[in-house]
Chain A
Amino acid sequence: MRTLLSGNEAIAEAVRLARVPFVAAYPITPQTPIYEKLSGLENEGRLPGTMMRTESEHSAMAACVAASLTGVRTFTATASQGLALMHEMLHFASGNRVPVVMANVNRVLAVPWAFGSDQTDSLSQRDTGWLQLYCEDGQEALDTVLQAYRIAEQVMLPVMVCIDGFFTSHFIEPLEIPDQAAVDAFLPPPSIPNRFDIQNPAYISNVVSPAQFMRFRQRSFEDMEKARPLIQAVDEEYRQGFGRGYGLVEAVETEDAEIVLVTSGAMTGTARVAVRALRDQGVRVGLLKIKAFRPFPGEEVQAALQGVPKAAVVDRNISIGKEGIFCQELKAALYPLERRPQITGYIAGLCGDDVSPETLEELVRETLRSDQPPPGPIWVRKD
């Protein structure tokens, strides 16, 4: 069914379609419409589950992990401060190996206080052992949430689906809502074990020795590695069933490019327009959209940028003391290559600061012009 929905509403629809029986959440701008929509569905009896209106995000994740351990499919959503508050619980979820799916609506982390889109919140959680998938728009968000349950329940690691605050979360577009039967075929009832078995009692997650810890940690690491082909396979199956697929990365016109613009999230939409305009002007520019951030798609990124002379990475985030996070991850992923592109990092659009196609065009040209990238990132500011 085709209808007009915001990104937040699309996510709520996906949760409904996935027949999630347990949702625990706490309101925070710009996530609130997800929470409100689900509450509305519950009130109408259309949500096949229970909403737990917790008193903080930390408790919301705690409850999701607990319910997931007991064997039910769960969901939560948050942003910014809420995600930061959840930090302990993110490690907790991944360490417990539970298939929780969470939507994070990227928003800048205070201080200074502000509310616009900024990926620093979710990227700061990159070491927590969660899969992280960045969506360009509302349709991708809906599709990705459905795929996330398949992936999570197979790899037994939690999955975070990220969308840009306001740009995607509140932006209303015509979207395709898949029908329930098709979703049920793609996403059958889960077989998540209930770890609390009265007949065969066990103590779940008690204290381990250092050697045991390393064993379990390495196992998590290896299972995350196995997620790469799994994400690919699930995406392919989804494409077959629903006509839409996204891959771990999307490379657009990179084969003959002199320069590739690397983006993620909503900025990719702007980048597509900029790349079109530049190509029309004869610039051999390509676009690399990075969707999967964890596991980081090293092979895919290498394949796309092998032999490309230059790359401009635009980060709507910053790791103070280093550089933009996609940029540093990219550089590390390309390190093994014999012929690495020259990489220029750009910090643009923090806190939802406007990034127009012209801005992107300009920074592509600037990158082409310069011989050497500066040691640190270039801050794109209007003032």
Chain B
Amino acid sequence: MDIKDIEQIAPVSRGSTEIFKTGQWGSGKPYYLEKTSPCRQACPAGIDMARALAAAALGRLDEALRIVREDNPLPGVCGRVCYHPCEQECNRKDFDQAVNIRGFERYLSDHGRVDLEREVPAECKKEKVSIIGSGPAGLSAAWQLARRGYSVTIFEALPEPGGMLRYGIPEYRLPKEVLRREIGYIQQLGVEIRTGVRVGRDFSLKELKKDCQVLFIAAGVQGARRLGIEGEGLPGVVEGITFLQRVNRGKPLEVGRRVAIIGGGNTAMDCARTVRRLGAEEVTVVYRRSRAEMPALAEEAASLETEGIRLVLQAAPKRLLAEGGRLSGLECLKMDLGAPDDSGRPCPVPIDSSEFILPVDTIINAVGQVSEAGFVGEIGLSVSPTGLIAIDPETMGTNVEGVFAGGDLAGERAFVVDAVAGGKRAALAIACFLEGRDFQKELGRLRIGARRSIAFGPFLDPEKNQADLGKVVPFEKINILCFPPAGRRPNPERPAPDRWPRTFEEVTGGLAPAQMKDEIARCFKCGTCVHCDLCFLLCPDVSIRKIGWEGYRVNTDYCKGCGQCAATCPRQVIEMGGPA
């Protein structure tokens, strides 16, 4: 007796239910479409952080770094000094706390390896682009243009490249070694940086323009705005930018024991904390508005207290006092906050008879920078009354054909990442200009979400499978049930006694690998498929097939259109659509 005999007398079923095409039950079918994360939209440089974090979550650190460098060649810099608008819009903040995206960016640059082979362009173009200024705007433009195949030369007036990154930001915030390394990658890709050459002195703008097809001016603003008060000419009054430059060149200016820094921006913070490290005993920052209006990063302002620096708010300098021909005191007036001015911030209104005196022997003027680039008039560039080059913010173009401008000198927002963004946009505009492409059309294709950021990757490689840049994943679409609550891992900071006197060692450290791993896990990776397999595992009808690392395919013969995959996807990669 065997099973064949049994089949005659009792039900024995071997047929497959696959003869029933249950795909006909419903017309809605899921489709996979990666989308954009709010952090990417918020980042002026449009870094695809969600995708980078997704790669890092799978242990592919080098890949993650490459993704970041697609849009920003200076992750080591931004990972230390950026004001992280990404974190302000991180969806995780609505769940518990924003992801430490900046810390991640830094971690990648510290631990990931750069493979320049992958950035070498497919074809070399014959056109030459000249860039004035090796600050973040110039470097960013150079990087993208070199990747596109153009021959790029940067002309830098100072002895070393980097601009404000090299000569403005202090060592304890941005070690020179990190900057050198990142600029080095750009140079290794073939960008030539000529240092110690100043336009207007060593060659003229006209000459430069003749020698290349396109010019990108990103020379920055290094001039100091004057205080405009009595005694400004006294010895002991130092310009903030000059002060920082001298320190960063290894030739610091003499400072006294009691120093006051006027200003509330990052430059003021840098000056105050630097002067402290140089040994000043009493350091005071004087700012005319309140804490809320200080343009400096909150963490910078917070550092003042930790480092024993006094912050005097709502006070403005009235005049400088002298004794024996030397600076002896700063007379200030208390300020009220009045109606908002053009900057949108409350206007400081002096309070009558509220004078007070701060005994000082040194004043550092960090109230702002102005343009010193007189050469811009040479070829007929339109400039603003304050000497800034007028540009069309869309195209980064000036009134002179073939001349583009960006960064501080073009009046762009004065932060590193914004300069990087400007340089990238200019690179796109320049490439379109040289290749006869429709810039607006490209922009439309590359724009991220509803803001200014653009993605450069799809410009270089249109074939590459990219996400829908227009669709930004809102918090409501994140399936928070898939994420356990967990606190944010901040970067470790040196405790105050370690920071000074006289040490310019980095204050903020990098995340330890275990901490980074936890933080990477916290990221929702909005809109980027991380192959979590939830859709594949949950499908009741075995209608989602997993195709290795390519992703998932829906089997519409059997998919009943229940939509569970779309409803459960932690990060809105799947949506239900019409008939397949």
Contacts and interface: CB of A to CB of B under 8 A. Distances in A.
Whether the complex brings A and B within 8 Å at their CB atoms is answered yes
Interface of A: 95-97, 153, 156, 191-193, 195, 197, 200-206, 208, 212, 216, 219-220, 223
A219 B2 contact: no
A7 B579 CA distance: 73
23 contacts: A96-B10, A97-B9, A97-B10, A156-B1, A156-B5, A156-B9, A191-B1, A193-B1, A193-B2, A193-B3, A193-B6, A195-B6, A197-B3, A200-B3, A200-B14, A202-B14, A203-B12, A204-B13, A205-B11, A208-B11, A216-B9, A216-B11, A223-B9
Contacts of B354: none
Nearest to B3: A193
B9 A204 contact: no
Interface in B298-333: none
B10 A204 contact: yes
Contacts of B3: 193, 195, 197, 200, 202
Interface of B: 1-3, 5-6, 8-14
Which of A191, A195, A202, A216: most chain B Cβ within 10 A? A202
Given A205-B11, A212-B11, 19 more contacts: A96-B10, A153-B1, A156-B6, A191-B1, A195-B3, A200-B3, A202-B3, A202-B12, A203-B12, A203-B13, A204-B10, A204-B11, A205-B10, A206-B11, A206-B13, A216-B11, A219-B8, A219-B9, A223-B9
Contacts of A97: 6, 9-10
The 4 closest A-B pairs by CB, nearest first: A203-B13, A97-B10, A97-B9, A202-B12
A343 B5 CA distance: 43
Contacts of B2: 191, 193
A288 B292 CA distance: 114
Contacts of B9: 97, 156, 216, 219-220, 223
Which of A195, A212, A223 has the most chain B CB atoms inside 10 A of its CB? A195
A114 B11 CA distance: 41
A241 B354 CA distance: 130
A197 B12 CA distance: 12
Contacts of A205: 10-11
Contacts of B12: 195, 202-204
A290 to B, nearest CB: 28
A205 B2 CA distance: 16
Nearest to B10: A97
B13 A202 contact: yes
A64 B486 CA distance: 54
Contacts of A216: 9-11
A278 B305 CA distance: 127
A97 B10 CA distance: 7
B16 to A, nearest CB: 11
A64 B168 CA distance: 88
A203 B8 CA distance: 14
A120 B13 CA distance: 38
Contacts of B1: 153, 156, 191-193
A220 B12 CA distance: 15
B264 to A, nearest CB: 76
